[in-house]
Chain A
Amino acid sequence: MFNRRCLRGFWVFASFILLSTAWPPLARALTWPEIEARAKGQTVDWFMWGGFPSTNAYVNGYAAPRVKELYGITLRQVPVKDIAEVVGKLLAEKQAGKGAGGEVDLMWINGENFRTAKRHGLLFGPFADLLPNQKLVNWGKPSVQNDFGEPVEGLESPWGSAQVVMIYDSKRTSAPPRTVGALLDWARKNPGRFTYPAPPDFTGSVFVRHVFYHAAGEVAVWQGPLDEKRFAAAAGATYKLLKDLAPFLWRQGRAYPENPIRLSQLLADGEVDFAISYHPAEASKMILDGLYPETVRTFVFEEGTIANTHFVAIPFNAADTEGAMVVANFLISPEAQLKKADASVWGDFPAVDIDRLEPAWQARFADLPRGAATLPNDVLQQRQLPEPPSEILIRLERGWDEHVLKGR
């Protein structure tokens, strides 16, 4: 009798323990002021690509002191070379059974790594809809709803937006080609003066997608379910175009720059005439920093260029989830977004919808000085193309490797 009662007590106790530990989105039960209260005094370790001095300056020189002041959170930037290293580390920790107390509290993550992290259950959340500033974000936009075709589902919070621009030096190239087709013709007429980063580099990969849209002659159809026959025809045409172009590229296409940074160095050193960037204001910032001559300008293709959103996410075993959420919320505050958009600080485009801000904030965004090489907002917005689903992206990257790089 005594034993049985004891056993029942044990089961009640055990299920209580189980419930309280197997319920990690405990944050659900917390209100935002409670989350802010818990966040106070936490140290948030934010792992991110540390290659951009302007991003580093924004995070360490502005965001860190500001969240300390506003929320009592210590924000510590951990610069890495590639966020994939961090995803690998999380995967190892998951295997080793380290489910809590992880070092990574917040990470700046790109679409492909987000997909990996999401599929392996390495992310905390959904948390995005808990953040009060989320109302400033237009979640109806396909580029916010999906990160490279992978539904975000609240596992990431947006930080900024990006759109592909072409960069050139107006002193050297007075009339740059305005469409993908014209650019390919230009490259054939000017051997050795054009190249693009080798996929799977993000920028190289997005250039291949522009050629894919050009070869297919249509954009919207790829957003739906994949039509194998149609895809095979368009992808085949893409590889043929790029393969035939290769001998006219920089170093006859025997070598490709490894990333957009190498490409922009080639442009600055006068070895090629175009660079490609995911960041519309990057060229202006580089002029300010003396890395590009003052005559550098940007343009977008007449048929449009691909636009997307970049996000931050919280790992499944983060030690300071509340602090990380408060920081993620701060990052999409009007104040933080305005500072980030300032070309003299970083010049990254906002993730929030300017129309949803109070008029006073809208005016401040309108008053921001635009860099000499940055295109006006309306020009950019009228020419935005969606990213195709990551399925197409991955197939194109593999196909490029097989047909263009190895098929020479």
Chain B
Amino acid sequence: MKRRLFGSVVAAVVLLPFVPLALWAFSHRWYFPQLLPEQWGLRAWSYVFGTAGPQITEALVQSVLVATATAILSVAGGVPAGRALGLYHFRGKDLLSIVLMLPILVPALCVAMGLHLWLLRLGIAATFGGVVLIHLTACLPYAVFVMWGVFSNYNLEFEDQARSLGASSVKVVFRVMIPLTFPGIVVAALFSFLLSWSQYLSTLIIGGGKVITLPILLFALMGSGDRPVAAAVSIVFVIPALAALALSARYLGSRRMMGVW
């Protein structure tokens, strides 16, 4: 009972900000001090699905691809790094953790501007790969820290047991380590996905307009003062993020996440 009440309070707090967003998206005339729109309309949606439809669809696909690639690469880097940091003690570990944290501490603008020149020289600015790389600078540290927490509670004896029963190293990784840390992997992937999903400035600078993600369109429209259109695009923006959250929700409270929270 108590749990259900808590759950609904959390749900209300999460969902409440979306109420005005939904109202704006379906309004046609709404002036202060009216509590509800004077007139409802679908102008914003006809913009989203009509005139801007192809552009928004293209950006949506681009956003999903970039965020998915970033999430996969962050996990691929985060799992081994987190394992090393969580299980072993070595010299310079504190220093290393600060270095790992740097991309989060240094303002994203500086990171993107500084790396832009390098990516230009390497010839990968304004490419899909370049954008994924710049997103990784923001996402990888989070994946490393999540996996670090997971591995600091990880019992190596399970692996020893498997090995003593004759399992190969590959088998140990896929049958023991990954299943045991799976909730952590899902959370690390989710963090990376969401962070990449909401990147604006770095995508703009590195993507150079060749890689147009949803936030690029959204930020441009936010300044327009056209609240219905901005609200409708925001809803399109937030639904995939909520879907990613919902898909991974059952792992968020998992017991195996103990080291992280």
Contacts and interface: CB of A to CB of B under 8 A. Distances in A.
Contacts of B204: 80, 85
Q: Which 9 A-B pairs have the closest CB atoms?
A: A50-B220, A261-B225, A78-B209, A79-B220, A269-B32, A51-B224, A61-B51, A290-B28, A57-B51
Contacts of A268: 31-32
Give the interface size class of chain A: 35 or more
Interface stretch (A92-100, A173-181, A299-307): A92-100
Nearest to B126: A103
A329 interface: no
A293 interface: yes
Contacts of A57: 47, 51-52
A216 B226 CA distance: 37
Contacts of B225: 51, 261-262, 264-265, 291
B117 interface: yes
Contacts of A96: 117, 120-121
Interface string B94-110: 00000000000000000
Contacts of B209: 45, 47, 78, 80, 86, 103-104
B220 A49 contact: yes
Given A259-B223, A261-B223, 19 more contacts: A49-B220, A50-B220, A50-B221, A51-B220, A52-B224, A56-B51, A57-B52, A60-B55, A79-B216, A80-B204, A86-B209, A89-B208, A98-B120, A104-B208, A261-B225, A268-B32, A271-B32, A290-B27, A290-B28
A240 B50 CA distance: 50
A307 to B, nearest CB: 23
A255 to B, nearest CB: 17
A208 B43 CA distance: 36
A138 interface: no
B253 interface: no
Nearest to A85: B204
A81 interface: yes
B51 A290 contact: no
Interface in B147-205: 204-205
Contact of B117 (A80, A92, A264, A271): A92
B123 to A, nearest CB: 10
B212 interface: yes
Interface string B227-259: 111000000000000000000000000000000
B80 interface: no
B219 interface: yes
B116 A103 contact: no
6 contacts: A51-B220, A56-B51, A89-B205, A92-B116, A259-B223, A271-B32
A132 interface: no
Contact of A291 (B55, B216, B222, B226): B226
B54 interface: yes
A121 interface: no
Given A61-B51, A77-B55, A104-B209, A270 B31 contact: yes
B207 to A, nearest CB: 9
B195 to A, nearest CB: 21
Given A60-B52, A89-B205, A103-B209, A290 B29 contact: yes
Contact of A293 (B27, B31, B43): B31
B39 interface: yes
Category for how many chain B residues contact A: 35 or more
A289 interface: yes
Contacts of A33: none
B229 A53 contact: yes
B254 to A, nearest CB: 40
A56 B54 CA distance: 12
Contact of B32 (A79, A85, A270): A270
Contacts of B208: 89, 103-104
Contact of B29 (A80, A86, A89, A293): A293
B194 to A, nearest CB: 22
B46 to A, nearest CB: 10
Contacts of B226: 53, 289, 291
Nearest to A57: B51
Nearest to A268: B31
A57 B212 CA distance: 17
Contacts of A259: 223
Interface string A60-75: 1100000000000000
A293 B121 CA distance: 53
Interface string A260-302: 0110110011110000000000000000011101000000000
Contact of A93 (B30, B39, B50, B120): B120
Contacts of A271: 32
B210 interface: yes
Given A45-B209, A57-B52, A93-B120, A81 B47 contact: no
Interface string A36-59: 000000000101011111001100
A89 B126 CA distance: 12
B20 interface: no
A60 B221 CA distance: 14
